[in-house]
Amino acid sequence: MSERRSSESGFPIKGVYTAGDLPDDLDARLGAPGEFPYTRGVYPTMYTSRPWTMRQYAGFGTATESNARYHQLLRAGTMGLSVAFDLPTQMGYDSDDPIAHGEVGKVGVAIDSIEDMRLLFDGIPLDKVSTSMTINAPGSVLLLLYQLVAEENGVPGSALNGTIQNDILKEYIARGTYIFPPKPSLRLVADTFGYCRKEVPKWNTISISGYHMAEAGASPAQEIAFTLANGVEYVRAALAAGLAVDDFAPRLSFFFVARTTLLEEVAKFRAARRIWARLMRDEFGAKNPKSMMLRFHTQTAGVQLTAQQPEVNLVRVAVQGLAAVLGGTQSLHTNSFDEAIALPTEKAARLALRTQQVLAYETDLTATVDPFAGSYVVEAMTAEIEEAATGLMDRVFEYGSAVDAIEAGFQKREIEQSAYRIAQEIDSGERVVVGLNRFQIDEEEPYEPLRVDPAIEAAQAERLAELRRTRDAGAVQRALAELRAAASGTENVLYPMKEALRARATIGEVCGTLREVWGQYRPSDRF
């Protein structure tokens, strides 16, 4: 039993809660399911009419290998695909760039051009699946490649469903896969909003992410405070670009973590919905109810998985998934039990999906909406997290904006302090991690992880060489020149970018062209 008596966000947890712990205005804070302020869920029926979208994050090695895994997952009952990209792709470099050496295909699939994207989604009905792509700085590039492949298969942009993460601000705070300085990066985000409104109207243009901040050590209150503050920055950028709030806000989505601290996580999700609804209505004047709905994807907490006794992670993931469902997520990825060791094996990925299917089809979770509504402890925690998160957001905005606070290092410092506190608690044994600092075993059972073939890098380099030999080099250069001109002016860059990719320009060439115009951000730079 854990000795801790305080929440992850720092407020004390009582042994007993009563009606006296509830907010005086509880009815106004709750509302009905599907109605402002959406505390009880963004849809009136939630899972009683259909379960959440079950996703599995996959992608490794080559596009062909990843495509085979996607087909396996779809046969196993996955309802949506989530694509992981390798680091060179995330950073806008081709696989044969010297800086990519040793990283090709390691933490996700290598995508260099439209040819790789064709292989990645070969035989997959893009008008029938929902695809989430964890890609940020070059998010617009990968979206356009996806759209081009769909069009080649007779699927128009109007039929595509999915999400690109496209959240650059959290990269400066917690993750580091940025390319350009913040100002042009925000322009690229706004251009994506405008492009998708016209060309891919059902696509979620951004997944504003707290997950990576949580993985870096952010508390639940910090996670939603800094995520929603970033959301405010994106809304302001879109408005400054001339978009009307109700034209783009319905396609905003969010991405959060689900930890093993189930009660606080449920409260966190409920508080986040309430804060966002009020921000969109009261600060930005949104009229469309969909503009006020905080819709989000959840992934179970990878940082809480252990390499020691990895099978115990199956239990952790089940609890984390339960927290996400009770909190009202719209889609869910459950981590595989072996992800603390290496990329998940096929069996481990299938077990992670089966965890979601048990929750959806063998429990009574889908029989009623917001099961914890009115719970003394959850309602009290929801109010406490709401207060803590709004207080942190106020501190962010004291700097002027989320970007100004990032420049001052505020969010990063706060998260680092939280991470240090967690590490101290684990080291001292105050925070119990089963199998790590308590209930250890003398000898671990052998485990054979999935390994990525190092020959992939050479194979990708050969594919790129063949691409460059066989394409129309003049057409590529003309298309890149059009992209350069658009980036230098005020035109939406996605239109010339799409034509460059259609001409078989590589991701590295497209991002390199933008680097020439916009520059490349380094941590020592001032904004």
Determine, yes or no, domain membership for 445. Answer: no
What's at 105, amino acid-wise? G
Q: What is the pLDDT of residue 58?
A: 64
**Per-residue pLDDT at 2 exceeds 50:** no
Going across the sheet that includes 331-333, the strands are 203-204, 161-164, 130-134, 80-84, 53-58, 331-333, 296-300, 252-258, 206-209
Report the residue count for the chain.
527
Determine, yes or no, domain membership for 478. Answer: no
Contact 408, 399 (CB under 8 A): yes
In order of 195, 326, 328, the CA distances from 34 in angstroms are 29, 15, 11
Q: How many CA atoms lie within 13 A of 343 on its CB side?
A: 20
DSSP of 100-117? GTTTTTSSSB---SHHHH
**Per-residue pLDDT at 3 exceeds 80:** no
Contact 132, 80 (CB under 8 A): yes
Backbone φ and ψ of 450, nearest 5°: -70, 130
Question: What tokens appear for 33 in the block?
Answer: 């399911």
Partners of 54 in the beta sheet? 332
Q: How far is 363 from 357, CA to CA, in rounded Å?
A: 9
In order of 63, 364, 365, 444, the CA distances from 361 in angstroms are 32, 8, 9, 34
**What's this model's pTM, rounded to 2 decimal places?**
0.91
Contact 336, 295 (CB under 8 A): no
Query: Which of the two residues, 444 and 50, has the higher pLDDT score?
Result: 50
In order of 12, 109, 125, 247, 271, the CA distances from 165 in angstroms are 34, 16, 21, 19, 22
DSSP of 311-374? THHHHHHHHHHHHHHHTT-SEEEPPPTTTTTSBPPHHHHHHHHHHHHHHHHTSSGGGSS-TTTT
* pLDDT band with cut points at 50, 70 and 90 for residue 452: low
Contact 264, 219 (CB under 8 A): no
Strand (E) or helix (H) holding 53: strand 53-58
Range 132-161 average pLDDT: 97
Determine, yes or no, domain membership for 180. Answer: yes
**Per-residue pLDDT at 4 exceeds 70:** no
Q: How far is 323 from 486, CA to CA, in rounded Å?
A: 45
Within 8 A by CB and 6+ apart from 491, the residues are: 485
The range of the structural domain enclosing residue 98 comes to 38-415
Question: Which residue's entry shows tokens 């709030």?
Answer: 245
Q: How far is 63 from 121, CA to CA, in rounded Å?
A: 8
Question: What tokens appear for 404 in the block?
Answer: 């100004």
Contact 338, 332 (CB under 8 A): no
Strand (E) or helix (H) holding 277: helix 262-278
Determine, yes or no, domain membership for 411. Answer: yes
Range 356-371 average pLDDT: 97
Q: Return the closest-CA partner of residue 319 out of 260, 359, 265, 391.
A: 260
* pLDDT band with cut points at 50, 70 and 90 for residue 527: very low
Q: What is the pLDDT of residue 120?
A: 96
Q: How far is 512 from 449, CA to CA, in rounded Å?
A: 35
Partners of 232 in the beta sheet? none
Render pLDDT for 381-429 as a digit per residue (tens, 0 to 9): 999 999 999 999 999 999 999 999 999 999 999 999 999 999 999 999 9
Determine, yes or no, domain membership for 209. Answer: yes
Q: How far is 180 from 178, CA to CA, in rounded Å?
A: 6
Question: Which residue's entry shows tokens 């790590």?
Answer: 436
Q: How far is 185 from 178, CA to CA, in rounded Å?
A: 9
4-8, 149-153, 272-276: the lowest-pLDDT one = 4-8
Contact 149, 114 (CB under 8 A): yes
In order of 67, 94, 115, 471, the CA distances from 458 in angstroms are 20, 12, 16, 20
Q: How far is 524 from 518, CA to CA, in rounded Å?
A: 17
Q: What is the pLDDT of residue 170?
A: 97
CATH of the domain at 242: 3.20.20.240
Q: How far is 177 from 276, CA to CA, in rounded Å?
A: 26
Determine, yes or no, domain membership for 65. Answer: yes
Determine, yes or no, domain membership for 467. Answer: no
Q: What is the mean pLDDT of the chain?
A: 94
In order of 41, 164, 404, the CA distances from 372 in angstroms are 12, 31, 38
Render pLDDT for 77-88 as a digit per residue (tens, 0 to 9): 887 888 989 999
Domain count for the chain, please give it: 1
**Per-residue pLDDT at 448 exceeds 80:** no
Strand (E) or helix (H) holding 408: helix 402-408
**Per-residue pLDDT at 201 exceeds 80:** yes
Determine, yes or no, domain membership for 197. Answer: yes
Q: How far is CA 277 from the centre of its chain?
A: 20
Render pLDDT for 285-336 as a digit per residue (tens, 0 to 9): 999 999 999 999 999 999 999 999 999 999 999 999 999 999 999 999 999 9
Q: What is the pLDDT of residue 444?
A: 73
Q: What is the pLDDT of residue 1?
A: 42
| Residue 50: strand, helix, or coil | coil
